[in-house]
Amino acid sequence: MDKRPQQGDTFPLTIDGYASDGSGVGRLEGMVVFVPGALRGEVCQVQLTHVGRSALWGRVKTILTPSPARIPPDCPYDAQCGGCRFRHMDYAEELQAKRARVEDALCRIGGASVRVEAVLGAGRPARYRNKAQFPAAPGPKIGFYREHSHQVVDVADCLLQSPAAARLRAAVKDWMRRYRVSAYDERTRKGLVRHVYVRTSRSGAALCCVLVNGKTLPREQELTAALRCAEPGLTGVVLGVNETHSNVILGTDYRTLWGEDFLYDTLCGFTFKLSVPSFYQVNPDQAEVLYDRVLELADLTGEQTVLDLYCGIGTISLVLARRAKLVYGAEVVRPAIEDAVENARRNGVGNARFLCADAGEAALRLEAEGVRPDVICVDPPRKGLAPAVVDTIVRMAPRRVVYVSCDPGTLARDIARFREQGWSVRRALAVDMFPRTAHVETAVLLLPDAGPQGDGGEPYAGEPPCPAVR
């Protein structure tokens, strides 16, 4: 092109990789072009939709040379819902895209020259989610947000969710229509029903929570009756109060309308009690794959003391306790810690201790008490670790750190902070916890370098060169 690209320009483009959100990536006159829906290896006629200073965005007008990995999307909401990003490609290509994403982040942001082991794919890439959070909007509409918006797409069924979630969603919608119960409107901040939350277990039990902009609902008995009729496996109906004007989904107060306000689920041979706000992996099959790899990276022999930061309800803590001398779990959410204590008691685990504190405070408290963990495991939220937490972990001088992350970008940022203090990534692997979406779970092993920081842990011959990311 003789001039700088302009919005509306159309041109052929070769796609040579993927962005972190799953968009295809090509290059035009030295500028990166992001093209949603395009596949690696394809040549597409692309029309520019946005022109930035150093990057361009476009849409596919025509696929000139299709990829053999391209498949017809199997979801009728694929072009509307912003949830799934990979329904237009086969699963093998999706796993390659996720591996490239992790490797790119670790190398480019983290400065770690380490190859990512093959992404461990799901044996069941559909109907794997045990938790659904459906936003509601006037209409009523109950479904998911359109991409890059808060417009609710009315989704009758999601191929990632359980059939129970679809049935309970439909029952709430029918109840709203029948009794003219309003949905919350983000613009006016009026209306009642904000979200329909469904949690399911492997045994087929279901728990439904309706999040509302208020403390009561009209026709609560009728709502309970409708939900019980719709789902035979229902064990409880909960009303959640959320009167904040924000994007926060869960409420501050809960009231049981019928049955129990929790359910039980099994994971890695343990039984866990799950309430509405409990953090729990949404894909239990892949969670067991992930935790097996965490155990492998931790390399426990029964003699080590382990610190599990961001322990939630204690899932990883209990798994680690099987091979550790003693495990300390720390979590800032008090109900989660209460659940963790109860989960340890219920499963007969006597070598796990739990404290309610944020990660940095917990590490400092244990350090002050003279606790020197041999292994520290962290599984933080998407925002990653605060710099002070990294500093405290390094100061505690464990022999190894196992870092589990749902965001390769923040993981890589934190790895760079560890590297500045004499630590290196020695292994990295990924587990596809979220098939058909752009998300991926990563686990890395960090060891102190030989020298003043420690003995370097296990013998190591040097990191391989950073791979070319495709």
Q: Pick the catalytic residue: 75, 208, 377, 406?
A: 406
Long-range contacts of 242-247 (CB under 8 A, 24+ apart): 242/194, 242/195, 242/211, 242/212, 242/213, 243/213, 243/214, 245/189
Separation CA 309–CA 331 (nearest Å)? 7
Torsion angle defined by CA atoms of residues 117, 118, 119 and 120, in that order, rounded to the nearest 10 degrees: -100
194: helix, coil or strand? strand
Number of residues that this document lists for the chain: 470
The H or E element containing residue 467 is none
Separation CA 130–CA 115 (nearest Å)? 32
Separation CA 4–CA 29 (nearest Å)? 9
**Residue 126 Cα distances to 122, 208, 369, 437, angstroms:** 9, 21, 47, 11
406 included as an active-site residue: yes
The H or E element containing residue 46 is strand 43-51
Separation CA 29–CA 452 (nearest Å)? 48
- Closest-CA residue to 143 (of 114, 108, 173): 173
| Count of alpha carbons within 13 angstroms of residue 289, beta-carbon side | 18
Phi, psi torsion values for 181, nearest 5 degrees: -85, 130
**Residue 55 Cα distances to 14, 388, 462, angstroms:** 16, 34, 36
Q: DSSP for 334-373, please give it.
A: HHHHHHHHHHHHHTT--SEEEEES-HHHHHHHHHHTT---
**Residue 341 Cα distances to 196, 311, 320, 366, 432, angstroms:** 29, 11, 15, 18, 29
- In one letter, which amino acid is 234? L
Which amino acids are annotated catalytic?
Answer: 406
